[in-house]
Structure 1
């Protein structure tokens, strides 16, 4: 280094990115990748136990191990989508007051690294499922990744289709555990889960639309195309269909009384309907954000959910 170069370096030191920092660069990059994978969203993947729980095949050691594998694989697939999405939207996120803090937008994770990590996970999850689970599980994971990437690229800008894709993501989570354990999926299970997911997704969109009403720069450009009246109609319709399907399951022939001490299937309808009505309070107020946040933040709703789980478990166990 010449004397002149040294003087210039002292006057205008080169700005180091987190990856350039000695010692802590790799750690910062790893933490940045982990943050980009959205660990808070991983709780949604617990839905993989839904179908086995509904069939009463949740507690055998082999089923537990298989579901743990499915949870990890689905988490990897979902993380791949987040990584690729943030890499694709890096420039737009830098202009956003909140999203600019995301690791890729903030420069903590280089865009090529995010693309590479996402691509590896997107290919690895279905491939591992072929070996560790079965072809149906692998196919569902591959379809999930393809659908979610299509959503990131273009489908999130298409009216109604955006709601359907997000809803399908929740439904796939609920289905994949049953596919991995080769459990037949009940029509009532699919209808209740699908419309229950649509209820929560549209309630969240409605809340976003209410909160952004009259403000410029909505967090989702498509919100400007929806009306709050339409989104209200969607979540009310979805809630009604979910409740109806659940009640038909609870009252269908063969589910009445049985050998149980009490008609737990029928009694669980009360808790299920109360949970939907309680959740609808937040939807109506325009404060229904992420479903897991709504449930964990409201103690009465969480308690109703636990009561429903207990009744549902007793119904499945036929106590």
Structure 2
């Protein structure tokens, strides 16, 4: 599950109560009604991750049609609704634990801006509506994949996030499902290299996120996420380094294999091979934040780091040239 920004925030002040002990000062509540709080609980900043639904069509060069755009927009909206429903239910379940967290205590449910029952009810309605819309508007395989995503994420909220290693696998699979669903919806075959690169790339970001959480919460004794005490920072570092290497290797093998066909078609430059440079640089740049323990919120790293954004644009340009056969 995605977390808020890794920026260091002040802990809630503590003040003496009438018994002579200290009690936490109530978290400041933002202005706005329950609807505003529900929207914030749905994590609008996290919605950028659902752009991954375009990954498979983009890899296959199948983005240049209105039908494709309309289908991807529908899948994006459904995945966004599905993820938002899970966030709502997760925050309702974790409200008490989140109040002990220096950052999560500011979430609307934990801060008391949104009643727990309202979060549960909204999440349940959104879940049912998403599944119903998928069954009605999409083909059977796409609806099944979306339903499986929701079921897996709800199982994660209830139990699986407390199971060592399985929690990493579930979150990674959620990212991989996002990357797969666009291809499934448009009946685009998914290559083995695409699945390898997407899968290990997702594991890299997930393990880096957990590593950052473990570093940041080292002094909290696991009070905010008990499973972090079961991992060592050395193990999590090993996982994200292994995944980063596998993702780069998978991408390079794909680019070299696909580049031979592109050269035979008369491309001016080997754009796919050249894109390996930008892809590798992007992974290395993100690894800087992972190594510092500052990759706890992947969307913040991607959106706020300008060099990483420039590298990403370079990669998009090279990949676009490769798809266009220039």
Shorter-chain-normalised TM-score: which range?
0.7 to 0.9
Counterpart Cα distance in 2 of 1:292 and 1:91: 25
Greater helix share, structure number: 1
Size of the aligned set, in residue pairs, is 294
Instruction: Please give the root-mean-square deviation of Cα atoms over the aligned residues, in Å.
Output: 1.7
Alignment correspondent of 2:5 = none
CA deviations over 1:42-81 (Å, ceiling 9, x no partner):
1111111111111111121111111111111001100110
Matched, 1:173 2:211: no
Alignment correspondent of 2:288 = 281
Distance 1:306 1:155, change over 3 A: same
Alignment correspondent of 2:215 = 210
How far apart are residue 313 of structure 1 and its match?
1.2
Alignment correspondent of 1:17 = none
Query: Among 284, 298, 307, which residue is 2:314 paired with?
Result: 307
Query: Among 155, 161, 180, which residue is 1:156 paired with?
Result: 161
Structure with higher RCO (Cα < 8 A, 6+ apart): 2
How far apart are residue 149 of structure 1 and its match?
0.7
Matched, 1:229 2:234: yes
Alignment correspondent of 1:255 = 261
How far apart are residue 256 of structure 1 and its match?
4.9
Tell me the TM-score normalized by structure 2.
0.86
Unmatched 5+ stretches in structure 2: 1-30
Counterpart Cα distance in 2 of 1:120 and 1:43: 23
Distance 1:97 1:283, change over 3 A: closer
Distance 1:300 1:99, change over 3 A: closer
Tell me the TM-score normalized by structure 1.
0.88
Unmatched 5+ stretches in structure 1: 1-24
Which secondary structure does the structure 1 equivalent of 2:152 belong to?
helix
Counterpart Cα distance in 2 of 1:102 and 1:285: 25
Counterpart Cα distance in 2 of 1:218 and 1:170: 27
How far apart are residue 298 of structure 1 and its match?
1.8
Alignment correspondent of 1:316 = 323
**Within 5 A, what are the aligned runs for 1:1-319?**
28-252=33-257, 254-257=260-263, 258-319=265-326
Rg larger in structure: 1
